[in-house]
Amino acid sequence: MPQTLEDGSPLCRLVAWELTRSCNLACKHCRAEAHMEPYPGELSTDEAKALIDSFKQVGDPIIIFTGGEPLLRKDIFELVKHASDQGLRCVMAPNGTLLNPENVARLKAAGIQRCSISIDGPDAATHDVFRGVPGAFEAAMRGIQYLTDAGVEFQINTTVTKDNLHQFKEIYTLADSLGAKAWHIFLLVPTGRAAGMADQVIAATEYEQVLNWFYDFRKTTSMHLKATCAPHYYRIMRQRAAAEGLPVDRENFGMDAMTRGCLGGTGFCFVSHVGIVQPCGYLDLNCGDIKQKPFPEIWRTSPQFKQFRTPSDYEGKCGPCEFHRVCGGCRARAYTMAGNYMAEEPLCSYTPKRLCKAL
Ligand code: SF4
Ligand code: SF4
C-alpha cells in the first residue's frame, strides 16, 4: 500500500469508533462522562454500515469498537462482522464487566481479534474506586477469564494518576499473570469526568521519570508495552537510545520505531456515537459530521486535520522541536490545560535545541 493517499493526505491507520455513549460504569476519568441511559442521535445500523463501507477509501485502518460500553449496542455483532468481512482488523474496548461466555463466543465469531480491558489498580480496593462501581474489578477479572477461555487475545490499559503511580509494577505483574498480550499506559487527559481530577495529573518532571522508567522496564519483559497518549515518550525513547548507541529501528523497538506519539488527525481519528469526527476522543473538536459529509472527505479535507499535519501550525515549543515529527505533543492536553489545541504540550519538560540556542 502507498504511504499516502493520491492527494497527499496521510493514510488513516486507526479509527476509534464510539458505537454508543451508554455505559454501565461511571469511571472517574471518563472522557465521555458516560452513563447508562440511552443517548439520542446514535447512528442507525444502516448508517453505521455505510461508515464501515467508506473506511477502505482512506487506508486499511484498524477499527477499535469502543464506547461508552460497546456491548450495550444491540447490533454490535452484526457491525463487527460487516467490518471484518471487508478485511478490516477489528478490536474492541469493552470495560469487561458485561462479557460472558456467550457474547465472547459471538464476538470471536464476528471477527474481534483483541479486546482491551482497563485496569487502573492491582486489586479491587483501588480499581473499584477509580471505576466508580463496587465489584468492577471482580467483574473485569471474570471477563478476562472468558476471553482467555475462548482464546481471544486481550491487553490491559492503565491510566496513570498520582494515586496509582506507585502501584505500576503490581499492575504490570497482574497483567502478566493474567496472560495479557500487551500493557498500554495512558497519560491522563483532564477532560470529561477527569476534568475534576486535575489533582491527579502528575507534573511534567514526574512524567519524565515515569516514561524513563517505562523505557527501562520495557526491556525486562517480552510483553508488548506501549505508552499511549504520552507523545513525548517517543522523544525520550530516541534520547535514551542515542545515549545507549542503539539504532531506533524495528529490530530494537518494534512498532514504536515506526509510529508517532500523537496520531490524532494524522493517522488516527475518533468517530463519536452521533457521527462527529474528532482528532481523538479526548479532544472534543468537531472536524466534520458523517451525516453531512462522507467520512473519507472529512479525513482528507478537515481544516483542523490539515493543521495537525502542518508542523508550522504548531505553537510554542512543539512546532520548532526537533522531535516534532515523532512526537507532536498531546493536542487534547494543550486544549484542556491551555485552551488552545495547537499550543505546546503542557506536560513536557523538554526545551528544543533551537529554542536553547535562542535563549
Ligand atoms: S491528542 Fe492527546 S489524547 Fe488525543 S491522540 Fe493525541 S496524544 Fe492521545
Ligand atoms: S516540545 Fe513538544 S514536540 Fe518536543 S518533545 Fe516536548 S511535547 Fe514533543
pLDDT at 26: 61
> Measured from the CA of 231, which atom of ligand 1 is nearest?
7
Q: Where are the alpha helices (DSSP H) in 151-249?
A: 168-178, 204-218, 233-244
* pLDDT tens per residue, range 295-348: 999 999 999 999 999 999 999 999 999 999 999 999 999 998 889 999 999 999
Ligand nearest to the CA of 331: 1
Domain ranges of the chain: 14-316
* Closest residue to atom 5 of ligand 2, CA basis: 232
Structure confidence by residue, pLDDT tens digits, 15-50: 999 999 887 766 565 555 656 666 788 999 999 999
Nearest to 274 by CA among 45, 39, 86, 103: 39
State which ligand 2 atom lies nearest to the alpha carbon of 324: 3
Q: How far is the CA of 332 from the centre of ligand 1 (A)?
A: 6
Can you read off the three cell numbers belonging to residue 132?
466508580
* Residue ranges for the chain with pLDDT beneath 70: 1-2, 25-38, 190-200, 357-359
pTM, two decimals, is: 0.92
- Are residues 70 and 76 in contact, defined by beta-carbon separation less than 8 angstroms? yes
Smallest-distance ligand from the CA of 233: 2
Please name the residues in contact with 172: beta carbons below 8 A apart, sequence gap of 6 or more.
183, 217, 221, 223
Instruction: Answer yes or no: is the C-beta of 345 below 6 A from any ligand 2 atom.
Output: yes
Give me the pLDDT at residue 32, please. Answer: 56
CATH ID of 14-316, from 3.30.360.10, 3.50.50.60, 2.60.15.10, 3.20.20.70: 3.20.20.70
Cα–Cα distance measured from residue 119 to residue 133, given in angstroms and rounded to the nearest whole number: 13
Q: Which atom of ligand 2 is nearest to the CA of 318?
A: 2
Nearest alpha carbon, ligand 2 atom 7: 329
Nearest listed ligand to the Cα of residue 236: 2
Cell 500500500, located at residue = 1
Which protein residues are within 6 Å of ligand 1, measured from CB? 189, 229, 231, 262, 264, 279-280, 282-283, 330-332
321 lines ligand 2 (CB under 6 A): yes
Beta strands in 140-288 (DSSP E): 153-160, 182-187, 224-228, 268-271, 277-278
Give the model's pLDDT for residue 133: 78
Does the C-beta of 344 come closer than 6 Å to ligand 2? yes
Distance 232 CA to ligand 2 centre (A): 6
Most ligand 2 atoms within 8 A of CB, residue of 235, 322, 354, 356 to mutate: 235
Residue type, 55: F
Q: State the pLDDT at residue 357.
A: 64
